[in-house]
A and B are shown apart, each in its own frame.
Chain A
């Protein structure tokens, strides 16, 4: 996985707990937030995106098998999960590749990776 993805993912995990002030402290010397071009601050709340859209099937916030599989502690690779989010699975999961930005998808992945059982 490219380093840039990992960085966004890390930010997504801690993002929801960061206040605006805390976020501002990580800004670059120019005063602009140091973030990759394709991600916005809204993208970083992977939990919010997950709950709105994914939690209908991946239940208990992704911790339990429901309509969709349990995601916490998944042994699937990051690439596999990203691919599945983008392309879906006919009859089981919609394709979100044109719905979510790459930043949002990474934020969702980061949320999943941060889940306890």
Chain B
């Protein structure tokens, strides 16, 4: 029986070519989309789950409140907290701290005696306990003791290979930093960095006891300030993180009450975050050690995949029920010769299952072929191996079966309950029963299309807006050169003169932070007459004179730095004035006071610049002050040239002749700014691609449906024509119903789309307004598509010879 049904299914599939094509095309596109999205989602899952007892490892995060408001939050904590926690709570088995080095100073690294030195991102200083908390596989060295001594270094296998080639790295000397600040480290281990996914993903780790930042952190005992140390605790087996969390307010009160009041913090809240949740569930937290994703995006993508597949299923349902008349005779005959309803239901379900399994067989190689495109779109690096694992395999198979069932169950019920007598007499009677449901399905498809079009337009608008919005500084043609070492830094003035002589260089200055870099540094200030209880946090940047000119940031009042200025003179932005309630007129010579322990420092405002977006547009412009910096991290060049390769070559030549052993490392600031919106851009692009797919599938389904309706109405059209109907009126007859459906869908889709896009936009502080025309355009688009697909078919039936259609009845 099964074989017979399979045979019939196959023949039915090959016979109705248009229907099969639409179903196959739609379901395959849907399955490919699902597969692609599943692959992407899977790549985002499983971060930090490979550590032994991963569930017991937590990061200690910090929220600082001032004036009862959340004033500051970070994924890090003050230096002494991690080990104090271990001391106080027996349920903590181990603690470790990680300091991200590149924010504080250059992390130039080179093999001793080698000319080649590198900037490596994700370079950490960590406690000796690091490998007790996090699991890494060592290729060389002993992880138990690797970070025990000062000046110990552990390399990733990637970096070890880069620095030492095929030689063993263990025991080799490495120069870290440059000039006076350089230190010699010894390689104590190499770990396999291809190991697993982690939010840490280190390139190399230096022992905490190494003089410099490491020893500073080790010796720093204040529980309130310097919240830049990523602190991790590992609980004992069966340790309860929730109970521990409840004890943390008491802990910080016991240990840090005095420090907190000295720093003017109302309260400091410590929060435990499971490490395996960091990648997906900490998107709101500031100062992440490394870019994190957001589980919301994954839900969005999964929803998109679900919708696309559903649209393809709806096509299948629509076409199968619409074409029921074609199969009515077969159903009737089968019933007459003894088929029961059940066996017929299974037959039709079998057909849809066959089709959906077939689409999976098609989809897997198609997805593999499309992987390069997908990687470009999602900026991921997926390979076919990611596709060929049991989890994805199982999910895809499940998806296939589910698709087959969802698509097939309704048609199976409808088709199997056709009455044999009616079926054998005339197939056309069957339509009236399920026409209503089919209308609902068509409306559903239009609702999806219209909402998606609205979403895509607004996402694109927002993206354009962030790109073209006046950030308050000119990011175009702005080059940032990494200075990296004190040696290079000391040559700033001569480099500046040299660079200015190169044609195309308009302006040169320097600073600690390039716009778009996370500004981790900040100071707490209060006004004269105030005290440290009333501190306001102000972000900090150190620059050379001419910085604002290079960036094209206008002064509201006051002046730029001069040679005689010291760190006691500061330039602030308008947001700072507002935060301290200082009038612009009185701004100059106003004093902001900061205090460390018993000492206080006065800072004189010598200039006020217009607010500019030094951080992402997602954040409001925060108070910022700028002081004079003698050893900055970046050199900024305002350029104007048509030939960048030549300009860069000249710059590199001058750089190399003056600075030894420091690579010529540059970025374009506008590109860096764009990176702030990478996630949105990625999301936008992915949504656009999949939305187009969804619309395409809906249109195809609509086309198929109209073909059937036209065929069903053949007789009616024939009779009308015999009675004198014009082609126009026939076209109207066929299109009228569909246009009504589009209008209904428009009314339903608009509020839905508005609701979701409104929520998405809320994530941006600076956002585009939702305009009415976007909805009208989306509705108009749906109407246009309908008229084209329906119009084509209806004109075809309208001009057909009525004699033919009447005779065939």
Q: Do A and B bind each other?
A: no
Measured CB to CB, the residues of A under 8 A from B are none
Measured CB to CB, the residues of B under 8 A from A are none
